[in-house]
């Protein structure tokens, strides 16, 4: 009853209950965002360096350098996108705003593949580092079982909803950065300074320089090292002043990552040959930083850094595995909320309030991906190539979306706008996004041509996703039409 009319005895006033809409709390600042991103990208040096050396041999620092330039393009594009569209989803959200739901779904679906591969690689790399304390973990079968167990353990933890501590993450990242800087300084002072010719020999000596095809493939695999941009973008809705903080976090990541990765790769090839660094069976392919610690020219330093690297690497890699799982759950929830995936996949547990269906399904897929570890020691490189397949495609979608939004929605508010633009029909198009798009697509094509496992597994994943998308689309359309029919029948009655 309207409030301005007189009430009569017996009248009841009906006040509908207001529906509460819960939003994520904006609590993250630059240190927290940096710890999230670096927890992903910083952990990759503990395994990606060996994967790159397996293919690029002595040209590993060069491959990492070229991939680092591409990483700058990617980070700058995500800086503009995350400040402009501060919502979870990353490249999937950018593509949805720039193009349509289908393109956004494809970007999100291949991003899921990258997250799953990240989980599998990170978990598979933890046992070799811990083998310093338990040598039995060097056994391939036991190592694979432990990696599967790690993912299963994280699955249960995430379903139960145990919260991660941002402060603890920041502490681990700080210790990790300090340790890596210390290793780089010690390597330069104690190894490279004493015998600088060893680096030249290990890079350009006979049998150490790769073929052109392997060099290009090494650059592609080096993309494994430069992750983290998607992880930061997934937390746009939880960041204080995202229009400022997220670009600042990306710029900080660019500086720290490039300096540390350049130093680690140079010290690694000063401490051991590329064949030792890239050998997955008898070398240090799965635990390259442990290889550096083991080859320091001092028994005292080895005794200090061997256990420190083992503990720190396992901690950071466990964080990275969990970050991949968190990223999948957030992304799945985002896609289901926008009707790009069935609502069942984003279903929240009634008691624990976690997206348990997505967590269980994608953990099961990651565990399945580790199965070849029992019989095929080379599958580690295949996992890396599969990750590259998904991540490069996501980055390409992100660049294309930013370029498209510059054309279609040039008046959109851009708190952080990329510089170095070229004017095309009155629109400012960012040069870094154009170069990023071309370089990511170019390397993705190389991976498609040269890596049969990632080609067929990646294309199969995309095909399966498209089937799910269109079946769900037809189902929603069918329900909508039939609900309209029922409404017409009820109106006639």
Does residue 104 sit within a domain? yes
Would you give the DSSP letter of residue 131? Answer: T
Q: How confident is the model at residue 396 (pLDDT cuts 50, 70, 90)?
A: very high
Range of the domain at 249: 30-487
Does residue 454 sit within a domain? yes
- Number of domains composing the chain: 1
- pLDDT tens string 186-205: 888 887 776 788 888 888 88
15 near 178, Cβ under 8 Å? no
- Give the mean pLDDT of 102-124: 90
Burial state string for 235-251 with b = 16 or more CB within 10 A and e = fewer than 16: bbbbbeebbebbbbbbb
Neighbours of 443 (CB within 10 A): 24
The answer for residues whose C-beta is within 8 angstroms of residue 241's C-beta and 6 or more apart is none
Q: Strand pairing of 427-430 and 421-424?
A: antiparallel
For the domain that residue 333 is a member of, what is the CATH number?
Answer: 1.20.1740.10
DSSP per position, 349-366: PTTT-S-HHHHHHHHHHH
Q: Is the pLDDT of residue 18 over 50?
A: no
Does residue 1 sit within a domain? no
Does residue 122 sit within a domain? yes
Does residue 310 sit within a domain? yes
Does residue 19 sit within a domain? no
- pLDDT tens string 341-369: 887 776 776 776 777 888 888 899 999 98
Would you give the DSSP letter of residue 7? Answer: P
CA distance 282 to 168: 35
- pLDDT tens string 48-103: 888 888 888 989 999 988 888 888 898 889 888 888 887 767 888 899 999 988 99
Residue 427: strand, helix, or coil? strand
The answer for residues whose C-beta is within 8 angstroms of residue 424's C-beta and 6 or more apart is 407
Spacing of C-alpha 1 from chain mean position: 55
245 near 239, Cβ under 8 Å? yes
Q: Is the pLDDT of residue 473 over 80?
A: yes
pLDDT of residue 304: 86
Phi-psi category of 426—alpha, beta or left, where left has phi over 0 and alpha has psi -120 to 50? left
- pLDDT tens string 150-164: 999 888 887 876 554
- Give the mean pLDDT of 398-416: 89
Does residue 69 sit within a domain? yes
- The residue among 354 and 420 whose pLDDT is bigger is 420
- The residue among 22 and 134 whose pLDDT is bigger is 134
Does residue 17 sit within a domain? no
């Amino acid at each position: 009853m309207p409030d301005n009319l007189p009430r009569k005895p017996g009248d009841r006033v009906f006040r509908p209950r207001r529906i509460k809409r819960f939003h994520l709390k904006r609590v993250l600042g630059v240190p927290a965002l940096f710890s999230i991103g670096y927890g992903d990208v910083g952990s990759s040096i503990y395994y990606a360096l060996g994967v790159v050396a397996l293919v690029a041999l002595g040209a590993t620092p060069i491959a990492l350098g070229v991939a680092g330039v591409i990483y700058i393009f990617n980070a700058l594009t995500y800086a503009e996108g995350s400040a402009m569209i501060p919502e979870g989803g990353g490249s999937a959200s950018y593509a949805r705003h720039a193009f349509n739901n289908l393109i956004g779904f494809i970007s999100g679906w291949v991003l899921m593949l990258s997250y799953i591969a990240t989980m599998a690689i990170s978990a598979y790399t933890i046992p070799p580092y811990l083998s310093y304390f338990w040598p039995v973990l060097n056994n391939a079968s036991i190592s694979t079982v432990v990696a599967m167990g790690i993912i299963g353990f994280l699955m249960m933890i995430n379903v139960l909803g145990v919260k991660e501590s941002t402060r603890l993450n920041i502490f681990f990242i700080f210790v990790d950065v300090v340790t890596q800087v210390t290793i780089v300084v010690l390597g330069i002072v104690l190894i490279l300074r004493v015998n600088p010719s060893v680096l030249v020999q290990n890079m350009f000596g006979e049998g150490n320089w790769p073929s052109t095809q392997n060099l290009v493939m090494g650059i592609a695999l080096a993309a494994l090292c430069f992750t983290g941009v998607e992880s930061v973008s997934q937390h746009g809705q939880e960041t204080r002043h995202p229009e400022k903080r997220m670009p600042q976090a990306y710029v900080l990541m660019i500086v720290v990552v490039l300096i540390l990765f350049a130093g680690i790769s140079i010290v690694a090839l000063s401490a051991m040959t590329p064949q030792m660094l890239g050998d997955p069976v008898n070398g240090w392919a799965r635990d390259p930083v442990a290889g550096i610690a083991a080859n320091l020219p001092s028994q005292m330093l080895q005794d200090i850094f061997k256990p420190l690297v083992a503990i720190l690497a396992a901690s950071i890699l466990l964080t990275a595995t969990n970050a991949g799982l968190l990223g999948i759950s957030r992304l799945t929830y985002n896609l289901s909320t926008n009707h790009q995936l069935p609502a069942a996949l984003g279903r929240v547990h009634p008691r624990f309030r976690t997206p348990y269906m997505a967590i269980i399904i994608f953990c099961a897929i990651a565990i399945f991906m580790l199965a070849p570890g029992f019989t095929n020691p080379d599958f580690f490189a295949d996992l890396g190539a599969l990750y590259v397949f998904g991540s490069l495609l996501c980055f390409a979608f992100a660049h294309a979306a930013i370029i498209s939004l510059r054309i279609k929605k040039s008046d959109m508010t851009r708190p952080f706008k990329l510089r170095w633009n070229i004017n095309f029909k009155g629109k400012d198009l960012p040069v870094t996004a154009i170069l990023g798009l071309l370089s990511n697509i170019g390397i993705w094509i190389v991976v498609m041509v040269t890596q049969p496992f990632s080609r067929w597994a990646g294309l199969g994943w995309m095909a399966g996703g498209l089937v799910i998308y269109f079946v769900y689309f037809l189902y929603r359309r069918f329900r909508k039409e039939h609900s309209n029919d029922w409404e017409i029948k009820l109106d006639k009655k």
